[in-house]
Structure 1
Amino acid sequence: MFRRIINKVESIYQYRYLSRNEKASYNFLLKNVFKGTDIEFLEKVWQLDHFREVLDLQEINKKKLKKVLILAPHQDDEVIGCGGLLKKLVDQGSEVHIGFLTDGAELSNPIESVVTRRKEAENLCNYLKVGVRNLEVCNINLKINKYHIETLTSWFREDWDAIFTVWPVDHPPKHRLCAYMVGKALKNSAKKDFPLYLYGVHTDVLANFYEDITDVIDEKADLINFYPSQMQAQRYDHLSRGLDAWRSRFLPVSNEPRFIETFFRIPIEAYDDFQSVFDKSNINKLFKGHEACIRSFHIIKKIKN
């Protein structure tokens, strides 16, 4: 089964690096893609109609991104997933807004953790001089109602040059739930005049765009360190740096240390394909048995457009 899936990936996406070294491609995909994602679900995504064409990795044209919205399931996902690009957009004078979808509450300390994480996010946004928005879905019970969908829909109806949001098959169940909520609001907004860039936090994307962040890799680590509460259990600055280094394999061969962030860019209407996969999947497997996510998923489905 693994061999069959590898063949599909190589034939569809024709990654230059993977085609050169069969053993390296097998080991990379097995350890870094399949380990973090439900294989059956991911295979369905790879076969979606919108994604059958060969994808060539291209550099993001930042000059066209004068007004950008970056969505994050939790306070720190935005800098882990695309902190380098965020820094570059700010440096070139783009108007950037960060929208946090959950309140970041932690079960061990639900009240104080919300205060702490919001303050950390505000410190980051003040430092970067970017706008901050909070949808405030409770990160513990994940109760999503019509207000959340309507608010998110109103964000999408603004004039953006691009929106960056989390990869729908990112490993954490809460990230997948947030991705489904984003799809619901996108459909309600009826906007089709800007691209979506999907970024990965815990699971890498099937990339067709990238940003070279070699010159700001240290600054990206600094941004991640604006969230000390999240660094106690895991050094995300260290993990992110390593992943961004590994992603540089998509660049022309060089012996210089380089770092890139990767993205999957799709038109807004293509996001409906992700929604359809969610709707047809085994929900327990999709959300890894997370009861709050499963419950909220069914609630989102029932919210009328």
Structure 2
Amino acid sequence: MERKNERSTVVVIAPHPDDEVLGCGGTLYKHAQAGDEVLLYVLTDGSKFLDGNKRKEECVKVSKILGISHVEFLDFPDGELKNHIPSLKSALEERIKDFQKVYAPHPLDHHPDHIATSLAVISIFEEKPSFELHLYGVYNTFRYNQLVDVTDVCEIKMKALREYAYSLSVIGPELMTKRAEAFMRFPTINTCEDKLYEFFFMPEKPMTLSEILGYLTYDLLCQDPHTQLLKKIKSTEHLMHLLTQERSARLSAEQTLLDQKEELERLRGCQEELDKLKASVFFKVYDLYHTKLKPKLIPEGSLREGLYKRLISFIKGG
């Protein structure tokens, strides 16, 4: 690790336990070996899919391997950093204002927590660019301007990564080590050397978020009229989709009400037929027979009742 000062304080900001190793573990170890003090701030509680306390325990073990002297967990809700950017910025601003080097995810690292972290840190950098900002990646490669050769410390990085056995259990630690090595070989497309690198974008002058995004996207990320028009078209399509869903739901509800109304009319018709039947002479004779004459002619428990039941059974074919 090249030295500009005798000793520096280095801060790495990780949205989740394990991001610090994947993004810049080798570089952090080199800082520690060079005598720099390395501080780690983990922003989320890591509990969205796994046990957050177990992930923290792993993080502490990993920090010892990498030579990180201080670990602090800020315990923002895992997966929800985008809803806490002002609070996140305030918490980080107080912690990084006096340090020389800050490592954080780049703003195109496509995980919502990584993007929110990057936006908070870059916002601080915009207002007070008093530190070196090094943007790293975890989920995707990006345009960089700084390479750190970590070939000689790769085994330390992999040892640290394997300590995250529980955190990486969904994917598998061995698969993640292979992925991490492939990620570190990405810059060899340009260097043409059989080495492993961690790569960063480091603004060489004060830059705004817009300027950083412009650099990372080769100035292709712009808000020209065509882009604005496409956004409006997409917004309109989304609105039309919602309106179509609402219309379909309304029509379905109206059809349900119509079906219920038809069923009610049918039941009313049945009730009217039943009322007519009850008012008929036949029904009155039937009712008179069963309620008054039958109990007298065929007493319950009598021999007549037994013969009557057999006769009825015979008629019914039983």
Bin the TM-score by the shorter chain. 0.5 to 0.7
For residues 54-99 of structure 1, what are the alpha-carbon distances to aligned partners after superposition, in whole Å with 9 as ceiling and x for unaligned? xxxxxx7345462111111111111101111111111111111111
Change (3 A) 1:101 1:229: same
12, 17, 25: which one pairs with 1:75? 17
Cα pair 1:98 1:132 within 8 Å, conserved: yes
Matches within 5 A, 1:134-283: 134-142=73-81, 143-144=83-84, 146-158=86-98, 160-187=99-126, 190-234=127-171, 235-251=175-191, 253-254=192-193, 257-267=194-204, 269-273=206-210
* 1:120-131 superposed matches below 5 A: 120-127=58-65, 128-131=67-70
Q: 1:207 to 1:145 in 2, by over 3 A?
A: closer
Residue type of the alignment partner of 2:151: T
Indicate how the Cα distance of structure 1 residues 267 and 153 shifts in structure 2: closer, same or farther if over 3 A, else same. farther
Ranked by relative contact order (alpha carbons within 8 Å, sequence separation 6 or more), the top structure is 1
Change (3 A) 1:84 1:239: same
Alpha-carbon distance in structure 1 between the residues aligned to 2:150 and 2:190? 13
Q: CA separation in 1, counterparts of 2:74 and 2:102?
A: 16
- Aligned partners of 1:210 and 1:262 also within 8 Å: yes
Unmatched 5+ residue regions in structure 2? Answer: 215-220, 235-318
Q: Deviation of residue 126 (structure 1)?
A: 3.2
Contact 2:101-2:131 within 8 A present in 1 as well: yes
Label 1:146 to 1:169 Cα distance change in 2 as closer, same or farther (>3 A): closer
Identity of aligned residues (%): 24
Would you say the 8 A contact 2:85–2:120 is kept in 1?
Answer: no
> Offset at 1:164?
1.0
**3-state DSSP class of the match of 2:90?**
helix
Unaligned runs of 5+ in 1: 1-59, 286-305
Q: Deviations over 1:84-125 (max 9, x none)?
A: 111111111111111112121124x5xxx1111111111222
User: Contact between 2:40 and 2:68, CA under 8 Å: does it hold in 1?
Assistant: no
1:86 & 1:276 partners in 2: Cα distance? Answer: 25
Matching residue's letter, 1:231: L
Match of 1:105 among 21, 40, 47: 47
What secondary structure is seen at the aligned counterpart in 2 of 1:74?
Answer: coil
Cα 1:66–1:276, aligned 2, differ >3 Å: closer, same or farther? closer
Contact kept? 1:167, 1:200, Cα under 8 Å = yes
The residue aligned with 1:90 is 32
Asked if residue 61 in structure 1 is aligned to residue 17 in structure 2, the reply is no
SS of the residue 1:228 aligns to: coil
The size of the alignment, in residue pairs, is 214
Code of the aligned partner of 1:244: M
Matched-pair contact (CA < 8 Å) for 2:79–2:112: no
Tell me if the contact between 1:104 and 1:117 (Cα under 8 Å) persists in the aligned partners.
yes
Q: Tell me how large the CA RMSD over aligned residues is.
A: 2.8
Q: Which of structures 1 and 2 has the bigger CA Rg? A: 2
In 1, the alpha carbon distance for the partners of 2:85 and 2:157 equals: 34
How far apart, CA to CA, are the structure 2 residues paired with 1:275 and 1:138?
A: 27
Instruction: Give the distance between the partners of 2:3 and 2:104, measured in 1 at CA.
Output: 17
Question: Equivalences for 1:38-53 in 2 at 5 Å?
Answer: none
Whole-angstrom distance in 1 between the partners of 2:212 and 2:15? 17
> Tell me, what secondary structure is at the counterpart of 2:133?
strand
Check the 8 A contact 1:180/1:275 in 2, yes or no. Answer: no
Q: Deviations over 1:145-167 (max 9, x none)?
A: 75433221101211x22111101
Letter of the structure 1 residue corresponding to residue 154 of structure 2:
I
- Alignment TM-score, normalising by the size of structure 2: 0.60
Does the 8 Å contact 1:62/1:89 carry over to 2? no
Contact 2:106–2:137 at 8 Å: present in 1 too? yes
Aligned amino acid, residue 174 of structure 1: D
Contact 1:102 / 1:137 at 8 angstroms: preserved in 2? yes
Secondary structure, counterpart of 1:269 in structure 2: coil
